[in-house]
Amino acid sequence: MKYIIVTGGVMSGLGKGITAASIGRILKNKGFNVTAIKIDPYINIDAGTMSPYQHGEVFVLKDGGEVDLDLGNYERFLDIELTREHNITTGQVYQTVIEKERRGDYLGKTVQIIPHITNEIKERTRKVAKRSGADICIIEVGGTVGDIESMPFLEAVRQMHSEESKEDIVFIHVTLVPLDAQGEQKTKPTQHSVKELRSLGLQPDVIVARCKEPLHEDTKSKIALFCDVPASAVVSAHDASDIYYVPTMMEKEGLSEYLVQKLKLSPKDNAHEWDVFMKKMASIDREIRVAVVGKYAHLGDSYISINEALKHAGIECRCRVRTDWINAEDFEKKPASIDLLQKYNAILVPGGFGARGTEGKILAIKYAREHNVPYLGLCLGMQLAVIEFARNVVGLKDANSTELAKTEHPVIDLLPEQENIKNMGGTMRLGNYEAILKENSLASKLYGSSTLIERHRHRYEVNPKYIPQIEAKGMKFTGRNDHRMEIAEIPGHKFFFSSQFHPEFRSRPGKPSPPFLAFMKAALD
């Protein structure tokens, strides 16, 4: 097994996740089987209870793992499916070590950070890498070098460096090269960051320098001299117009060739699928406007998978998607402002939890239905579509979800088997579930199959009691998992498709999600 350890310095938010994913992509393009692990130093067990304001989107894996959004980038760039084991947190590590101590597994020894915590980190890392069957495992250590939370993880990878063969492990450090007032590229932050890394016993093999413009050759030479790496191992990671150009930039910098030599690898192939995707991106000649009506409109990372799924579908249609993130609460404060939606080619309502902004989303759904504008609803976006239809078409004026308000007509509710579960995670449907699709429905045409498997993250369901009334008025539930409704669509509408699942989580560059692709085509029409 070959390991590539990615660390970050100077400041957070430099793009370690995109860097790690891009490195994986260029190695995959050489024919290697690549997997990835994200280490998060926070004490939470997983990302499931975190607010989008704190940590951006919660990405859901096939086994129901609620993880950091960087794992979404890994899946998209590498076209793989990961499991919850690929996200290691401080909370998980300490919980396991404490449980072992309580069971007496340490035979009365004093339990310490070294060796017990570090051993647990190494054991988890190696186990995940081995189970994946990959040739190369990329490990991104979250946080910034110098953070107290990251220390045990950095010590663990330092130990791995001494335990593994030199040709089996490479350290890549991501830093910042800012510009001063005169536009000069400054290397001092990188020098200090590498000095901090060295003080922990780690010497980077490669330095990836984030910068606004391509690194000058003299800047590369200066970093190489002060940080004791070859100039060929200083990689310019300057701003790109799109994240999918980053692997190509790194390839041009010679990073894959350097890593192949450093790890003594033999390239097996020269895959062209990424080149095909790049050519599709370059051939874009149209633009459409999509309104995403949500409550985290000012936080781009909250809807990152939706943004990427729209992009994948748009590229497949040779179309640039101009996405406007609209705060649903604006429509609640000024209902007349709903007419702003007339300038958009399509409307999307994403998932979410809680009552805030839901009435504004319902107004947007009503607009899409009444004005025959293509509509895509995801998770809560499906539930609110059912509520809107029940209120304004079926005539159940008080229709609502019991998650959002007390109501005489709970068209969205907890199912009986969920009501007595007190654990917050216990009532959640997480990860992959199958849906049986109705014959000749829009859903069956989109997927080209009678079944589908998609990922879920929700608690409340469409109440089966109201289905006959709703279907009698024209909304059809065309995907089901036993007594749980998975898809609601309105036949005869230009495009009105909503799903209880999150199709965005399985969308890939060059392999767009079927509902998103159809949504784009409807918007273009």
Q: Tens digit of pLDDT for each residue in 406-422?
A: 999 999 999 887 666 54
Same domain? For 270 and 295 the reply is: no
pTM above 0.75, yes or no: yes
pLDDT digits (tens, 9 = 90+) for 346-393: 999 999 888 899 999 999 999 999 999 999 999 999 999 999 999 999
- The dihedral through the CA atoms of 300, 306, 310, 316 has a sign that is positive
Looking up tokens 């995707």, which residue turns up? 277
Q: What is the DSSP string of 150-205?
A: GHHHHHHHHHHHHHS-GGGEEEEEEEE--B-TT--B--HHHHHHHHHHHHTT---S
Same domain, 320 and 371: yes
State the Cα–Cα distance between residues 140 and 391, nearest whole angstrom. 48
The amino acid at residue 365 is I
d(CA 276, CA 271): 10
Instruction: Please give the Cα distance from 120 to 135 (Å, whole number).
Output: 22
Mean pLDDT score, 281-295: 93
Whether 272 and 288 map to the same domain: the answer is: no
CA distance 151 to 147: 7
Question: What mean pLDDT value characterizes the chain?
Answer: 94
How far is C-alpha 256 from the geometric centre of its chain's CA atoms?
Answer: 24
b/e 288-300 (16+ beta carbons within 10 angstroms → b): bebbbbbbbbebe
Residue 41 has what DSSP assignment? -
Residues 302 and 221 both lie in one domain: no
**Residue 515: cis peptide before it, omega within 30 degrees of 0:** no
% pLDDT > 90, the chain: 90
Domain identity same for 380 and 510: yes
Query: pLDDT tens, 440-476?
Result: 999 999 999 999 999 999 999 999 999 999 999 999 9
pLDDT digits (tens, 9 = 90+) for 207-259: 999 999 999 999 999 999 999 999 999 999 999 999 999 999 999 999 999 99
What CATH number corresponds to the domain at position 234? 3.40.50.300
Instruction: Write down which residue in 276, 299, 315 finishes a domain.
Output: 276
In sequence order, the β-bridge partners of residue 89 are 40
- Indicate the residue among 216, 250, 276 that finishes a domain: 276
CA-to-CA distance for 83 and 129, rounded, in angstroms? 12
Closest CA to 235 of 261, 262, 260, 258: 258
* 434 and 456 housed in the same domain: yes
Contact, 483 vs 459, CB < 8 A?
no
Same domain, 263 and 293: no
The CATH number of residue 375's host domain is 3.40.50.880
Structure tokens that stand for 134 in this block = 């990959």
Q: Domain total for the chain? A: 2
Judge if 356 and 252 occupy the same domain. no
pLDDT over 80 (residue 271): no
Instruction: Tell me the two tokens of residue 396.
Output: 């159940």
Note whether 471 and 381 are same-domain residues.
yes
> 3-state DSSP call for residue 47?
coil
Report in angstroms the alpha-carbon separations of 283 from 263, 274, 286: 36, 14, 9
Residues 199 and 134 in one domain: yes
What residues act catalytically? 379, 502, 504
Give the residue from 276, 307, 334 where a domain finishes: 276
Specify which residues 487 forms β-bridges with: 479, 499
Same domain, yes or no, for 16 and 153?
Answer: yes
Which amino acid makes up residue 490?
I
Query: Would you state the pLDDT for residue 352?
Result: 87
Note the pLDDT of residue 415.
86
pLDDT at 349: 97
Can you give the pLDDT at residue 339? 94
CA distances from residue 138 to 35, 47, 84, 102, 405 in whole angstroms, order as listed:
6, 20, 16, 33, 46
- Domain of residue 383 covers 283-524
Residue 25 and residue 106 in one domain = yes
Distance CA 1, CA 136 (A): 6
Write out the DSSP string of 417-476: GGTT--STTTT-EEEEEEEEEPTTSHHHHHHTSSEEEEEEEES-EE-GGGHHHHHHTT-E
